[in-house]
Structure 1
Amino acid sequence: MTSNLDCVGLGVTDRAGMRRLVDIALAGAERLGEADGVSVLRWQDPSGARLVLGVRGDEVVDLLPSYAGTPGARLADVRAVNEDVAVADVLDDGGEQATMLAAELEQRRLLPAATGPVGGLACVVALGVDVAVYADAEAFAASDASLVGDRDDPGDPPAHVVEQGWPWPPRMATESFVSYGVFGEPAQAQAYARLNGTVLGAEPRTVTATGQRFVAARVRTAGFEADVCLPAGDAGGVPQPGNVVAGTVFLVGSLPVPTAAGGGAAPAKRSWLPWRR
């Protein structure tokens, strides 16, 4: 499985590489705000690749890769369910709930818990940790990747499926989405999801800080649009409009939370925390 950092061209192979990456980020980061003694800093490469860091004193306590995407999801009732993950309703153009998602937010430490849930038009970045690209909807529908359940032994179709003349085994729609983090115990929620969607456009990006390449694809899925990021080699070339991207992603969100006063470049000298993902 591809690492989250690899998806935005920030892959490292050892502790020394991680230290260099963190030092670069801290030297050019902007300050988004502070909560509970932790400063939230965000660094952005000209390619759009981002790192969001939480810094307490001289210690980097967390680090989240992200991307400067385009708003494409109208979120409501955004609420933290554990230290890392927030859950939100996704609304359609008519204000009705279309789906739900669980994501790690760039501003998760800055959510105003005292005033209740928040929302707004948000960027959703899907880091393609295990995805494939298909030529079109027909190619995806014919692939094993579209199957629901056990692809090796789907069993016999239930009676109601036979009665209705529905296809068997069942398959996922070309534009479909399942956020695993909205199920189960909130304390255990993670930001992984199954995302299938139609490519609206895509382009390769080269990270100035590392020289690594990645692909940023705008994808329409069930209820919203997302920026799917993946290493250039994993895409088999740059996806074209009408292609289908399908697989497991890690969701990162960015809400329109105001930048704190007194922001600016962060100090360059900080200790390093090993990447947790």
Structure 2
Amino acid sequence: MDNKEVVKQNQLAWDKKVVNNTPWSIPVTKEEIENAKKGIFNIKLTAHKNVPRSWFPQDLNKKRILCLASGGGQQGPILAATGAIVTVFDISMNQLKQDEKVSKENNLMISTVQGDMTHLHCFKNNYFDLVFCPVSVTYIPDVLPVFKECYRVLKTGGNFLFGSANPLIYLFENKKYDKGVFEVANKLPFNSLDELNEEEKMNFLNNKEAIEYSHTLEDLIGGQTSVGFAINGFYEDVDNDKICKYSAKYFATKAVKTK
């Protein structure tokens, strides 16, 4: 599949996920919004751990923040409630509608833009103070364009907060993985269509399933430094997946645009 076909497939998949109440599409509560207005907030790049407060500017008021591939009525509204000027950019219109709904209900100022996270041409150079990108690059074939664009749109000294799945989870045969049996079957880098025959691929696509890509640690971490970012924060995270008995399933990085 070419990139446009992948984008369209994953747009449909995420619109469907919202209808099915995926955890990443459940909006924050009014209580969380009110706490954020007082400067008290928790926000996630990965599944479980909250991002350290020190990863954000002490004063978020009037800071320009891009929530990249971060729709769903979660991070954007929390950051807007702190006084930040927030733009939410996402491939899924249903995800963006969640942000618009929370924004309207809580009288928040949030801009929403639908688009492909590898193409941020609608934003000026050196515009944002912070880019917040939770686990989402797993749905695109190539991460380097994302890092290049994030670097471009950030001001010098601005921060890029990034969450990702650990590529190791894609080593294992999918059906057995879901049962807690971890049998190495796939070569990395990997995508969801690699282990399917033609009939299975057709059913997968027709059922509006999301295509996932594993990438490599060299791309996910080294890719950031290759475009000019300096990484100065890192943590790992887990969820309820059985693989987490053996290894962390996610990681997050904080990087700064140095010049």
TM-score by length of 2: 0.31
Q: In terms of Rg, which structure is larger?
A: 1
TM-score by length of 1: 0.29
